[in-house]
Amino acid sequence: MSEQKRLPRHVAIIMDGNGRWAKAHALKVAQGHRRGTETLRAIIRESSDIGIEALSLYAFSTENWKRSPAEVSALMSLLLEYFTSEIDELDEKNVCIRILGDKDGLPGPQRQALIAAEERTGRNTGLKLNIAINYGARDELLRAVKALAAKAQSGEIAPEAITAADLEDALYTRGLPDVDLLIRTSGEMRLSNFLLYQCAYAEMTFPAVLWPDFSLADYHAALDAFGKRDRRFGGRNE
Ligand code: IPE
Ligand code: IPE
Ligand code: MG
């Protein structure tokens, strides 16, 4: 009988390296992003099949608007294409989609497709799939502070009575467990403004493989490494 593996409840992935992949293959950057969506599809399916509770994927940051208009527009087109073509399968797999980030800052068709995906799958009970689009952790925290300040001003809550739970309820990730495992591909070792609060005690792994090349074997290697980590949360495991 095989040993039951200790799986993370919540996996977060910074899908990085599409640009370098495109360059290495003498292709346009948009082609790298397109190949990246194939990895995305495979990782979502696998996560659902093996019973991961929550998967959060960084697709577009609040800082990614700095890229060229051509690249931003290619990413936005791909986003729309992805949600249009995948929604049936995701819904059939009982996946519950949530968007992390400011949808109001997106072009109309993208915003509508994301809202439709959330509404259609909102009651599904399988994998909680969170896609971070126009997301930045600092922006998320600032919004939470403003929401709590407004509640305090209106008398709904007393400032001194604000709890960590109140703060967590004001984040895009409301109701989700903290991130257990953070994976960033491409070898970069930084968070780039992703889930700063939620990753407080995340185990991290930085595989040196570019996102379009990230395989199911690489994913399982990261999950296996997680299973071997000694998590202490500030305490002591004797
Ligand atoms: C990650 O790949 C995807 C997004 C940021 C949308 P990059 O485009 O950042 O790839 P590199 O870092 O340039 O290789
Ligand atoms: C983080 O990657 C954002 C996404 C993967 C969506 P970046 O490629 O934008 O991050 P930096 O600029 O290298 O830190
Ligand atoms: Mg990058």
What is the number of structural domains in the chain?
A: 1
Q: Does ligand 2 lie within 6 Å of residue 60's CB atom?
A: yes
Tell me if 41 is assigned to some domain.
yes
Residue nearest to atom 8 of ligand 2 (CA): 16
Q: What is the pLDDT of residue 49?
A: 98
Q: Rounded distance, CA 185 to CA 16, Å?
A: 5
pLDDT tens track for 185-213: 999 999 999 999 999 999 999 999 999 99
Q: What is the pLDDT of residue 197?
A: 98
Q: What is the pLDDT of residue 1?
A: 38
Q: What is the pLDDT of residue 83?
A: 95
Tell me if 100 is assigned to some domain.
yes
The ligand that comes nearest to the alpha carbon of residue 14 is 2
When pLDDT is averaged across residues 152-180 and rounded to a whole number, the result is 98
Tell me if 159 is assigned to some domain.
no
Report which DSSP code applies to 64: G
pLDDT tens track for 114-157: 999 999 999 999 999 999 999 999 999 999 999 999 999 999 99
Q: Rounded distance, CA 38 to CA 233, Å?
A: 35
pLDDT tens track for 59-89: 999 999 999 999 999 999 999 999 999 999 9
Residue 147 near residue 171, CB atoms below 8 Å: no
The pocket of ion ligand 3, defined by CB under 5 A, consists of 16
Residue 56 near residue 12, CB atoms below 8 Å: yes
Tell me if 5 is assigned to some domain.
no
What is the domain-level CATH number for residue 19?
3.40.1180.10
Residue nearest to atom 3 of ligand 2 (CA): 61
Q: Does ligand 2 lie within 6 Å of residue 19's CB atom?
A: no
Q: Rounded distance, CA 201 to CA 170, Å?
A: 20
Q: Does ligand 2 lie within 6 Å of residue 59's CB atom?
A: yes
Q: What is the pLDDT of residue 2?
A: 43
pTM of the model: 0.97
Q: Does ligand 2 lie within 6 Å of residue 100's CB atom?
A: no
Tell me if 187 is assigned to some domain.
yes
Q: Does ligand 1 lie within 6 Å of residue 135's CB atom?
A: no
Tell me if 202 is assigned to some domain.
yes
Distance from the CA of 51 to the center of ligand 1, in angstroms? 28
Tell me if 212 is assigned to some domain.
yes
Distance from the CA of 16 to the center of ligand 3, in angstroms? 5
Residue nearest to atom 10 of ligand 2 (CA): 192
More confident residue, 137 or 237: 137
More confident residue, 1 or 70: 70
Which domain covers residue 71, as residue numbers? 10-136+178-227
When pLDDT is averaged across residues 101-119 and rounded to a whole number, the result is 98
Distance from the CA of 16 to the center of ligand 2, in angstroms? 6
Residue written as token pair 């003498």: 26
Mean pLDDT of the chain: 97
Q: Which residues are catalytic?
A: 16, 64
Tell me if 76 is assigned to some domain.
yes
Q: What is the pLDDT of residue 42?
A: 98
Q: Rounded distance, CA 5 to CA 227, Å?
A: 7
- Report whether pLDDT(4) > 80: no
